[in-house]
Structure 1
Amino acid sequence: MDAATDGNDSLHRLYRDNHGWLQGWLRKRLGDREHAADVAQDTFLRLLVSGRLPGPLESRRYLTQIARNLVIDQWRRLRIERAYLESVAHLPEPESPSLETRALILETLTQIDAMLDRMPDNVRQAFLLSQFEGLSYAQIAERLGVTVSSVQKYMTRAILACYQLVYES
């Protein structure tokens, strides 16, 4: 038996042994049978795409972690979508973005949110204070209780993350 066949058998066995359990676990937490079924399927799809199968003793823990992350991502996206739609709801019809533009903007906002979420707290705070409040590095350093050189390092990390986001897209 080759490695691909063995991997497919392992994935099939993992699905067979855990899909029903995972769907039930999600249904209890989400309160919605269809949403639970979708997240369970997405969990196994993510597992398939990753190519990493957990060992038999860690299967359920690994599956629940993937499912939790998927649910968090969905909630985050819904929160961003609601905020964006509220912000454009007051625009007159001719100024309102097309559905395609809205989808692109929402995707970009979701990527930015994920990028910010991956940053350490001080890096994220320094970046947001600089970009949205227009504070100087000295003002940021004072606000965060760190040195100006620390703020410079934080901003370097944040700008690098922005470049990576642009070039990954």
Structure 2
Amino acid sequence: MFKEIYIKYYPRVYATAYSLLRQREKAEDVAQSVFLRLWESWDTISPENVESYLVTMAKHAVLNEWRKNAVHARYRTFLKERFQESTDNVEEQTISRQQHTLLEKAIQQLPARQQEAWRLSRDKGMTYKEIGKIMKISRSTVKELVHKAIQALKSSLRSFWSYLLV
């Protein structure tokens, strides 16, 4: 009995799957899975209209295939985005560390007074007036020291970056 149903309805089930999928191999897989499910539940089913039952099973199998593909596509997109984000973060962190190291080396090359004024200004966030009190110099002298430090750092870092870009 099963063999006769298979021979009679396979072309219709395959055609249904192919009309939806437009891929021969996938339509064959769907048709095979429909008949496999029919075989597995042979004892428990007794459809009145076998053809419509099989066609409905084929449509549901195609819908399940589409859902599965959509889930897989979303998951691949999710992983790709997460991987890209983590890669970007690693790259950003590496670049940030490298820049910090370069800046620190350049600061260490400054004269002691410029270095002190720079650190109090940038690291501690102090005003020129506050720095002047600590260093026992005028506000204008602090301004000049910080300005010279900025010029020296720009020059030092510029020469380093131009060296990398050559």
**Structure 1-normalised TM-score?**
0.44
- In our comparison, the structure showing a higher alpha carbon Rg is 2
